[in-house]
Amino acid sequence: MHASAHTPPNAILRRMIPGLMLGVLVLIGLALLGDLNQVGAHLQSFNWAVFPLALLLTLFNYTLRFFKWHYYLGQIGVHTLPLLESARLFVAGFPLAVTPGKVGEVLKGVWLEQRTGVPVARGVSVVVAERISDGLAVLALSTLGVIAYPRYWPAFALVLGLLLILVIGSQIRPAAYWALGLGERIPFIKRFIPALREFYEGSFMLFRPGAMLVGVGLGTISWLGEGIGFYLILLGLGLPPGLELLGLAVFVLAFSTVVGAASALPGGLGAAEASIAGMLALLYGLDPATASAATLLIRLATFWFGIALGLLTWLFSRDLLGFTPSPKRQHDDNPQS
């Protein structure tokens, strides 16, 4: 769980390149799958007036998720990080999602350590808690859809069960301390125990019932915003408005987020797109061209919009990429176990 506090910029970019290439291939594949000419015709006839609204709803999602991030920082003992600096670190982490398994997001823990003195592993616990609370939030939004479409129940139950095991298991301190103590007696694991202990202490605080309720609550509202944005995109493609379409849009986007995360592919690329297009065709009967166009538009308005915001932040964050020295650490923020 250790990462260098001065990761070279080219090392970050090398981890991102395969994911970015995969993203381009997925976009091309979607266009070809739906027939390039027909997908192009759908994009030309699309009511682009709704696209800025979808972007605003994505910003709504990011804003609530940022407040969750900042709240989580307080839970692990980081109290003096300025709000704007916290926001900069949060948004700068978006492009790291295209690293395999999102392992690049460990850098957010490094950035926190540079600015606050909080151990990297404890900072990484915030990143993991974000992902788990987001997972529980999108599963909550998927509940009605799973009831309506029982074929998705096994995958829903499996992911929900795994997340609950992680959350509940983190609160059983004797078992965690026993496992850490056991690890200290195993030579090739022993050196990782200090970092694992910091990670566990952070996770214990973040997965307490009160903190989880706040995190999942904010996550549910924020991801609902993106679901409404998807609904607007479907309307822009000419689909008839109604509660049925709204419910379907929220369910498809939420469940595809679960599929993308479970795939461990960079940014869920490929898995999320296939899930969105496939569910639109299977559940709503959309033709491949319309389903592909809808998928392209919502991924541009959500995932790729976030990547663009993160890269824009990088332009004004040379210190994060190692071009300039990082700010002096504020050791008074270092929480005690």
Q: Give the model confidence (pLDDT) of 29-66 as tens digits.
A: 888 887 889 999 999 999 999 999 999 999 999 999 99
pLDDT surpassing 70 at residue 212: yes
Categorize the per-residue pLDDT at 24 as very low, low, confident or very high, splitting at 50, 70 and 90.
Answer: confident
Amino acid at 215: G
102 DSSP assignment:
G
Q: What is the pLDDT of residue 324?
A: 56
Banded pLDDT at 326 (limits 50, 70, 90): low
pLDDT given for residue 3 in this prediction:
41
**Predicted pLDDT at 279:** 95
Instruction: Give residue 17's pLDDT.
Output: 78
Q: Are 308 and 91 in contact, with CB atoms under 8 Å apart?
A: no
Q: What pLDDT shows up at residue 6?
A: 45
| pLDDT for 330 | 43
Mean pLDDT of the chain: 88
Q: Which of 213, 198, 221 is nearest to 141 (CA)?
A: 221
Q: What share of the chain is helix, strand, coil (3-state, %, to 5)?
A: 80, 0, 20
Owner of token pair 């929480």: 335
Cα gap 263→332, rounded to integer Å: 39
Amino acid 325: pLDDT? 52
Which pLDDT does position 327 carry in this prediction? Answer: 53
Distance in angstroms (rounded) separating the CA atoms of residues 291 and 304: 18
3-class SS of residue 210: helix
Q: How confident is the model at residue 67 (pLDDT cuts 50, 70, 90)?
A: very high
Q: Is the per-residue pLDDT at 332 higher than 50?
A: no
- 160 has a pLDDT exceeding 50: yes
Give the tens place of pLDDT for each residue, 225-263.
Answer: 999 999 999 999 999 999 999 999 999 999 999 998 888
pTM value is 0.89
- DSSP annotation string for 27-89: HHHHHHHT-HHHHHHHHHHS-GGGHHHHHHHHHHHHHHHHHHHHHHHHHTT---S-HHHHHHH
Residue ranges per domain, the chain? 9-326
pLDDT one-digit tens code per residue, 78-108: 998 999 999 999 999 999 888 776 677 888 9
CB 320 within 8 A of CB 111: yes
Largest Cα–Cα distance in the chain?
65
- High-pLDDT (> 70) share of the chain, %: 91
